[in-house]
A and B are shown apart, each in its own frame.
Chain A
Amino acid sequence: MKIERRVISVIVLNEHGVLSRITGLFAARGYNIETLTVAPIPGSKYSRLTIVTSGSPRVIEQIIKQLHKLIPVYKVIEHSELVEKEMVMAKIPLEERLSDVEALCRAYNGNIVNIGKDTAIIMAADEPSRIKNFIEALKRFNPKEIVRSGVVAIER
Chain B
Amino acid sequence: MAQMSGAQMVVEAMREEGVEVVFGYPGGAIMNVYDEIYKHKYFQHILTRHEQAAVHAADGYARATGKVGVAFVTSGPGFTNAVTGLATAYMDSIPMVVISGQVPLSMIGTDAFQEIDAVGISRPCTKHNFLVKSAEELPLILAEAFYLARTGRPGPVHVDIPKDVTAQIAEFDYPKEVRLETYKPTIKGNARQIRKAVEAIANAKKPVFYLGGGIIHSDSADLVRRIVKATQIPAVETLMARGTLRYDDPMLLGMVGMHGTYAANMAMSEADLLIALGPRFDDRVTGKLSEFAKYAKIIHVDIDPSSIGKLVHVDYPIVGDLKAVLEEMAPLIEQKIDPERYEAWREILGRYQELHPLTYEDSDKVLKPEWVIQRVGEKLKGKARISTDVGQHQMWTAQYYPFTRPREFITSGGLGTMGFGFPAAMGVKRGVPDEISINFTGDGSILMNIQELMTAVEYRLPVINIILNNNYLGMVRQWQTFFYDKRYAETDLSMQPDFVKLAESFGGVGYRVKTKEEFDKALDDAISKGVVALIDVVIDRYENVLPMVPAGGSLYNMLLEYKD
Complex CA–CA separation, A153 to B227 (angstroms): 49
B128 at the A interface (CB under 8 A) = yes
A13 at the B interface (CB under 8 A) = yes
Taken residue by residue from 81 to 121, chain A's Cβ proximity to chain B (1 for < 8 Å, 0 otherwise) reads as 00000000000000000000000000000000000000000
Asked whether, in the complex, the Cβ of B119 is within 8 Å of the Cβ of A17, the reply is: yes
Asked whether, in the complex, the Cβ of B182 is within 8 Å of the Cβ of A65, the reply is: no
In the complex, identify which listed stretch (A30-38, A67-75, A140-148) lies at the interface while the others stay far away: A67-75
- Which residues from B are CB-within-8-Å of A16? 131, 133
In the complex, identify which listed stretch (B94-102, B304-312, B441-449, B458-466) lies at the interface while the others stay far away: B304-312
Chain B: which residue is nearest A45 at the CB level? B181
- Which residues from B are CB-within-8-Å of A12? 182
Complex CA–CA separation, A62 to B310 (angstroms): 6
B148 at the A interface (CB under 8 A) = yes
- Which residues from A are CB-within-8-Å of B133? 16
Complex CA–CA separation, A20 to B148 (angstroms): 20
Which of B128, B131, B181, B306 has a CB less than 8 Å from the CB of A65? B306
Q: Quote the shortest CB–CB distance from A117 to chain B (angstroms).
A: 39
Asked whether, in the complex, the Cβ of B306 is within 8 Å of the Cβ of A69, the reply is: yes
Complex CA–CA separation, A7 to B128 (angstroms): 26
Complex CA–CA separation, A59 to B61 (angstroms): 36
Known: A16-B133, A62-B310. A71 touches B128 (CB 8 A): yes
Asked whether, in the complex, the Cβ of B181 is within 8 Å of the Cβ of A66, the reply is: no
Asked whether, in the complex, the Cβ of A13 is within 8 Å of the Cβ of B309, the reply is: no
Asked whether, in the complex, the Cβ of A24 is within 8 Å of the Cβ of B304, the reply is: no
Chain B: which residue is nearest A71 at the CB level? B128
How many residues belonging to A are interface residues under a CB distance threshold of 8 Å? Answer: 19
Asked whether, in the complex, the Cβ of A69 is within 8 Å of the Cβ of B119, the reply is: no
Complex CA–CA separation, A68 to B152 (angstroms): 13
Chain A: which residue is nearest B185 at the CB level? A69
Asked whether, in the complex, the Cβ of B128 is within 8 Å of the Cβ of A69, the reply is: no
B529 at the A interface (CB under 8 A) = no
Chain B positions 133-180 with a Cβ under 8 Å from a chain A Cβ: 133, 148, 180
Q: Quote the shortest CB–CB distance from B290 to chain A (angstroms).
A: 13
Asked whether, in the complex, the Cβ of B180 is within 8 Å of the Cβ of A61, the reply is: no
Known: A28-B124, A71-B148. A58 touches B182 (CB 8 A): no
B123 at the A interface (CB under 8 A) = yes
Chain B: which residue is nearest A11 at the CB level? B182
Asked whether, in the complex, the Cβ of A20 is within 8 Å of the Cβ of B120, the reply is: yes
Chain A: which residue is nearest B125 at the CB level? A28
Chain B: which residue is nearest A69 at the CB level? B306
How many residues belonging to B are interface residues under a CB distance threshold of 8 Å? Answer: 18
- Which residues from A are CB-within-8-Å of B304? 69
Q: Quote the shortest CB–CB distance from B24 to chain A (angstroms).
A: 25
Q: Quote the shortest CB–CB distance from A21 to chain B (angstroms).
A: 6
Q: Which among A61, A66, A71 has the greatest number of chain B C-beta atoms within 10 A?
A: A71
Complex CA–CA separation, A16 to B182 (angstroms): 15
Taken residue by residue from 295 to 330, chain B's Cβ proximity to chain A (1 for < 8 Å, 0 otherwise) reads as 000000000111001100000000000000000000
Complex CA–CA separation, A84 to B133 (angstroms): 37
Which of B120, B123, B306 has a CB less than 8 Å from the CB of A66? B306
Q: Quote the shortest CB–CB distance from B255 to chain A (angstroms).
A: 28
- Which residues from B are CB-within-8-Å of A21? 123
Complex CA–CA separation, A31 to B131 (angstroms): 26
Chain B: which residue is nearest A12 at the CB level? B182
Complex CA–CA separation, A151 to B367 (angstroms): 67
Asked whether, in the complex, the Cβ of B182 is within 8 Å of the Cβ of A24, the reply is: no
Chain B positions 80-133 with a Cβ under 8 Å from a chain A Cβ: 119-120, 123-124, 127-128, 131, 133
Taken residue by residue from 26 to 58, chain A's Cβ proximity to chain B (1 for < 8 Å, 0 otherwise) reads as 001000000000000000000000000000001
- Which residues from B are CB-within-8-Å of A24? 123-124
Asked whether, in the complex, the Cβ of A74 is within 8 Å of the Cβ of B182, the reply is: yes
Known: A58-B309, A62-B310. A74 touches B181 (CB 8 A): yes
Q: Quote the shortest CB–CB distance from B317 to chain A (angstroms).
A: 11
Asked whether, in the complex, the Cβ of A61 is within 8 Å of the Cβ of B309, the reply is: yes
Known: A61-B309, A62-B306, A66-B306. A17 touches B180 (CB 8 A): no
Known: A62-B310, A71-B148, A74-B181. A20 touches B123 (CB 8 A): yes
Complex CA–CA separation, A16 to B117 (angstroms): 13
Asked whether, in the complex, the Cβ of B306 is within 8 Å of the Cβ of A17, the reply is: no
- Which residues from B are CB-within-8-Å of A69? 304-306
Complex CA–CA separation, A13 to B123 (angstroms): 16
Which of A13, A17, A28, A61 has a CB less than 8 Å from the CB of B182? A13
Asked whether, in the complex, the Cβ of B182 is within 8 Å of the Cβ of A71, the reply is: yes
- Which residues from B are CB-within-8-Å of A73? 182
Chain A: which residue is nearest B304 at the CB level? A69
Asked whether, in the complex, the Cβ of A68 is within 8 Å of the Cβ of B148, the reply is: no
Complex CA–CA separation, A16 to B127 (angstroms): 16
Q: Which among A17, A28, A69 has the greatest number of chain B C-beta atoms within 10 A?
A: A69
B38 at the A interface (CB under 8 A) = no
- Which residues from B are CB-within-8-Å of A68? 305-306
Chain B: which residue is nearest A17 at the CB level? B119
Chain B: which residue is nearest A73 at the CB level? B182
B183 at the A interface (CB under 8 A) = yes
Q: Quote the shortest CB–CB distance from A70 to chain B (angstroms).
A: 8
Q: Quote the shortest CB–CB distance from A14 to chain B (angstroms).
A: 11
Complex CA–CA separation, A116 to B284 (angstroms): 64
Complex CA–CA separation, A17 to B120 (angstroms): 9
- Which residues from B are CB-within-8-Å of A72? 182
Complex CA–CA separation, A66 to B120 (angstroms): 18
Q: Quote the shortest CB–CB distance from A122 to chain B (angstroms).
A: 38
- Which residues from A are CB-within-8-Å of B183? 71
- Which residues from B are CB-within-8-Å of A74? 181-182
Complex CA–CA separation, A95 to B183 (angstroms): 57
Complex CA–CA separation, A20 to B305 (angstroms): 22
Asked whether, in the complex, the Cβ of B180 is within 8 Å of the Cβ of A71, the reply is: yes
- Which residues from A are CB-within-8-Å of B120? 20
Chain A: which residue is nearest B133 at the CB level? A16
- Which residues from B are CB-within-8-Å of A65? 305-306, 310
Known contacts A21-B123, A65-B305; 16 further A-B pairs (Cβ under 8 A): A13-B182, A16-B133, A17-B123, A20-B123, A24-B123, A28-B124, A61-B309, A62-B306, A65-B310, A68-B305, A69-B304, A69-B305, A71-B127, A71-B128, A71-B182, A74-B182
Residues of A at the B interface (CB closer than 8 Å) are 12-13, 16-17, 20-21, 24, 28, 58, 61-62, 65-66, 68-69, 71-74
A-B contact pairs, 12 of them (CB 8 A): A12-B182, A13-B181, A17-B131, A20-B120, A21-B123, A65-B305, A65-B310, A68-B306, A69-B305, A71-B180, A71-B183, A74-B182
Nearest first, the 3 A-B pairs at minimum CB distance are A65-B306, A71-B128, A74-B182
